[in-house]
Structure 1
Amino acid sequence: MIAKVRGNSKIEGEITVSGAKNSALPILASLVLTSEEVLINRVPEISDVNEILSMIRVAGIQVTFSDNEIMVKSSSNLKGELGNFDSNIRASILLLGPLAARTGHAELPYPGGCAIGERPIDIHIEGLNKLGFLISEKGDRIEATLGKIPKEVKIKLRFPSVGATEHLMMTAAIMNGTHTELSNCAKEPEIVDLQNFLVSMGAKIKGAGIDKIEIEGVKSFHGTTHTIIGDRIEAGTYIIAALASKGLLKVNGASSETFNFIHELKKIGAQIITNEDHVLVKPSTLKPFKISTGPYPEFPTDLQPQLTFLACYTNGTSEVTEKVFENRFWHVDELRKMGASIEKIGDRTLRI
């Protein structure tokens, strides 16, 4: 695909964000936890969603996807062996624990790689081991077998991994009779959304959004209806584009409570008015800044390339430090081709 962009234009007007991809993927993976009907609204129509849906269909889930709405019909023929499925997305690992918990054994393709740095799944595996699962890797496949189910489990994550937090929370929720305490958890709003979805199906979970999550495993889940939260990264991209072009923009459909990055933008002069269901961005004169990314509630790494772009339109010298991924500067060479003055300081910092 070739896109032609006409420059020297303002990003202005009004736009509504999609449902959050990082919320949709774990919620869709958790559909294997119930045999009853589920309706999910505001699902983004993207390739990762289509791939995770293909995987749960292979597992025996009857699902339709149309007009950003997913309908799951009742199903009782669940299977855990998906080893022959060719998956290229990292979210596929989220199916391992839930499928093994429900069927006794799960086999999946090893999760796809990542172009922005290493994302090892060892934290997932360590947690599943403590929950009583035996994990083995065979070439390009990974298997989990349910062993002796413990009554009490305490798991402290070595790093507040979003994927591991979601994976272990989903798995522990269906382990009847097991009390699980997860600590040093990721705190992202998407994890809160996953908890809300699971609780609406009968899960007993509390604590998402803070450091410690407690789960009382239940025997089964019932059906539910759920609407996915707005995508804060998509919203942040529009906000930054409006600031760079000095446009007047209204961004609808995402709760400003999840916009942990707005206070950082306000510090550098951004005029942003937040409301319950929308954000208004006004033309602003920005001052140079030093901002680092980090796990929530720090500045999101997924907005680091956009922040680098914004620095190019801010008078003075700014610095952006990437503390999450070691290889998330691919955009720099492309910006330099267009005249950006960007210097790399060490392995993690850009001076713009």
Structure 2
Amino acid sequence: MRQVVLEIADIKVFRNKRQTLTIETLAISAGEIVAIVGPNGAGKSTLLQLINMHLSYKTGTMILFGEDVARADKHSLRRRSSMVFQETMLLDDTVFNNVALALRFRGMAERDIKGKVNKVLADFHCAHLATRMARKLSGGEAQRVCLARALVYEPELLLLDEPFAALDSPTRNTLLAELRLVAIARGTTVILVSHNFNDVLYFAERAVVLQEGCIVQDDSPAVILRRPVNAIIASLIGMDNILPCQVEKQGDDIFIQLVNGVRFAWMGEVVPVATVCCLPGDALYIFDEQLSYQYNSSIVMEGNVSKIVPGIGMYRIMVETKGVSLTVRVPREQVTSRVSIGMHLKIAFNPMEAQLV
């Protein structure tokens, strides 16, 4: 069993007499790579500041590295963590000296510093920048150096407050993948704050979803991607189809009525107050009459193709069905050979792929 690095219980944080964070329970084990996600104003950065001991709390407990933060030497605990911000905040000095600074603060001998700095620069593919002035680096290079500086003294916990938000998507994805490999190799526990769920998919093995200062979902990214707990989280993760619906009960049977008139029996967990049906785009498919015997439980809808959005491997087809636009994700070869704008199309889905919220 892995050692628990962080335990939070019944903590409430207030700012200007307003409650901004309420964490009933949160535990993170050594070596876990966790993302904290949520809409703007959800309390993501506030939670990270709490973990970094920059915020006080009046109720509850926080145990960090096995010590109660309220009674511990915070300076000593903080030296076991490292934090990277969105702003690079590099000194007007060489890359080497920027990365070496934390080791010099800790009194390490210069002969030992050189080896550690060169190793961590190599880990992030920026050893060739060692003599470059930090202020002359590109955005991606600067964040590589910030990561190297944060990890050079081998912290047990790395906190990341949206450090890649200003970078272009390819650079961000590359850095996330590289950081993940380095963290796993070192056994470092990582907590990443991000409003971009794609970051989570590239990086984390677990996602903690915040909304209005509370944890509303804590699961693997794969589960959250297909089973968001509400419409706001569904929108955050980029759910393709978020459809108004009604839950109807007839005797012992439950039916779901979609806004486009489609009605189907519901065999999943009953959510009496559900008003939204979420359907991932890849849960919908082009219905093939000749293979209909394979789809006994499928719900079939008809409509016209309004738009086709190309993609790598998968295309997105927008189909208008009785005033509702549905997004279907299908393999490229199906689109190029079978689908065109304005075409009348039958699409189908298995009700068990739906998520009611």
TM-score, with length taken from structure 2: 0.25
TM-score, with length taken from structure 1: 0.25
Structure with higher strand content: 2
